[in-house]
Structure 1
């Protein structure tokens, strides 16, 4: 079937606008005015986005299978104690799906590219909240349970997630409307200051991660004596943390492609490795949280505050709605500019 269809055009870095450029990636770019059909067809040809797409699209189905198994086997709807695990798995399904969609369709235009990655950022911040909710329910060391930090942990994580979405979106094109002009390729600060943009995004995602993991870092590296919750899940937590820091390192350094620009355009560049290690980290995180939930269930039911809809599924829905509002706010100038240019083009046609 594919052999009967013309595969999308693949070009070099000099043939796409600067907004599409990736650090040290020279070739394999898709044409920057690809149609949606071209974007889907590009899944089956080797471009510099193909591995990025599949390394997140396939794990999405695995996490969905995990979600179904938890809901059916553990009967999650029957007992609120399992709801934080469900939240973590749902958010772990959403962020790779959003990422694979962003990498699939971002070559349609500069505006679509920005909106695609806005969606990606919102999904990542939702995942950070899912992490915080599950950690609050199952991972906090015994001696911190029901203390002040435990009580305010999820509300602060909610604010962090919302701030993460706003700051990450700001890093691409600045404030909506204020920094807007008709040529989105010249908007602040993505093209004029890509390093500043990168630092902003790194901060936007690193800070929520570090905050969410304060109780786990304390439990694994600082806590001594009774109440430190030393169980079999700790090995999985160590593995997850190691993979998470490796993921952050790859995102920040652009290794190995920066050492040999053009040599890793299609396979083996930092963003592809970032995807692979990020997914592996999520998988080990999920295993660790689930094991903590099982091993600590009797003690937590007796000593920790009860899990309710409000502090699990409810706060997740609130974050989802606020994030969608932020994404809409940042996307409106792009949509309005497109409509304005279409009207201008029609007037020019009529004038001729």
Structure 2
């Protein structure tokens, strides 16, 4: 039966449009106008995207299992203290799933590629908010609890996630309807300065991360009076490793073509990010358990608005941002329409 399945052909970097090319990746590209079936079949052949997909798709199921366990076994719905953990676990399920879907279907067309990664960026931003919600509830330093910073921490985190999504989307094509090229068939070329676009994208995710982790950095590196959870150190180390891999494109930049299928920076970026998330989840659960009694006596009660309300607002506004950036792509004039317009102009 497997011999009857014809796997899609793969291409070299010179055979695909610039929008699909990756730095120092020479081979293993899928057809830039693949069908949805071809995209799914490509999961079972070795391309330069295969491990990008599986390194995030498989962990999604683990985080989903953890979410279901918390809901059903710990009966978290009836315990407000567990609500921040639920928001975090939902974000841990969404961001790797969105990433795997983006990498799977990004070769259906140029516009599909951009829209897929718009959703990927929104999911990463939501994961940032999920982290902030748990840090506000379980990780905040003792002397910061109920402070002015603590009161405005979640609203600022929501604002940062929306700005993060918008800046990441902007880094690909610029502003919708203003910077997109509406006069040609190739109406949305890549940013003329891809390095600048990459820098904006990295900063758009680094800034929310740094802000969200201010309470944690204070506990670990400034206030020596609190016990340091080693899992937090591991999570921070892996977080900075993911940024390093994303910014440097190592190791493939040292040997273009050698790491096209296995071992290039984006695969390592996915693996380090997922392991970092796992350490983060374990560290949060440890703080949640050990600090419960003290927090219940000194911290303000956890509310629906500060947990699920903030998450809902973040998702809604991020979808609005993604819609605005995607709308002008979806309005692309078809080839036949353009040919008719040209024919009328000649007449």
Query: What's the TM-score, normalizing by structure 1?
Result: 0.94
Q: Against the structure 1 CA distance between its residues 342 and 147, is the aligned structure 2 distance closer, same or farther, given a 3 Å change threshold? A: farther
What are the superposed Cα offsets for residues 21-61 of structure 1, whole Å, 9 maximum, x if unpaired?
A: 10100000001011110000000000000000000000000
Structure 2 residue aligned with 1:285? 280
2:256 matched residue in structure 1: 261
Root-mean-square deviation (CA, aligned residues, Å) is 1.8
Q: Quick one: structure 1 residues 341 and 333, their matched pair in 2 at CA, closer, same or farther if it must change by over 3 Å?
A: farther
For residue 148 of structure 1, what is the aligned residue in structure 2?
148
**Compared CA separation, residues 346 and 6, structure 1 to 2 (3 A):** farther
Cα distance in 2 between the residues matched to 1:2 and 1:30: 20
TM-score computed with the length of structure 2 as normaliser: 0.95
Please, which of 294, 304, 310 is the counterpart of residue 305 of structure 2? 310
Deviation at 1:348, TM superposition (A): 8.8
Structure 1: distance between partners of 2:2 and 2:157:
46
Distance 1:184 1:346, change over 3 A: closer
Q: CA deviation at 1:185?
A: 4.8
Q: How far has the Cα of 1:195 moved from its partner?
A: 0.2
CA contact (8 A) 1:7 1:42 kept: yes
Moved over 6 A (4+): 346-349
Deviation string 1:94-130 (CA, Å, 9 cap, x unpaired) is 0000000000001111100000000000000000000
For residues 132-178 of structure 1, what are the alpha-carbon distances to aligned partners after superposition, in whole Å with 9 as ceiling and x for unaligned?
00000000111111111111111000000000000000000000111
1:271 and 2:277 are equivalent in the alignment: no
| Residue 184 of structure 1, CA deviation | 7.4
Aligned to 1:168: 168
Identify unmatched segments of 5+ residues in structure 2: none
User: Following the alignment from structure 2 to structure 1, what is the Cα–Cα distance between the partners of residues 209 and 305?
Assistant: 22
Q: Distance in 2 between matches of 1:341 and 1:154?
A: 47
Q: Which residue number in structure 1 is paired with residue 94 of structure 2?
A: 94
Question: Which whole-Å CA distance do the structure 2 matches of 1:208 and 1:50 have between them?
Answer: 29
Measure the CA separation in 2 of the matches of 1:42 and 1:303. 54
- Checking the alignment, whether the CA contact within 8 Å between 2:174 and 2:191 is kept in structure 1 is no
Does residue 58 in structure 1 map to residue 53 in structure 2? no
Partner of 2:40: 40
After superposition, residues 108-127 of structure 1 pair within 5 angstroms as: 108-127=108-127
For residues 311-338 of structure 1, the C-alpha deviation after alignment (integer angstroms, 9 at most, x for no partner) is 000110011000001101000011000x
Matched with 2:315 is 320
Question: Partner of 1:209 in structure 2?
Answer: 209
Partner of residue 81, structure 1: 81
2:152 and 2:47 map into 1 onto residues whose CA distance is 46
Structure 2: how far apart are the matches of 1:286 and 1:345?
Answer: 55
SS class of match (2:262) = coil
Supply the distance in 2 between the matched residues of 1:191 and 1:134 (Cα, whole angstroms).
36
* Match status 1:301 vs 2:299: no
Shift of 1:186: 5.9
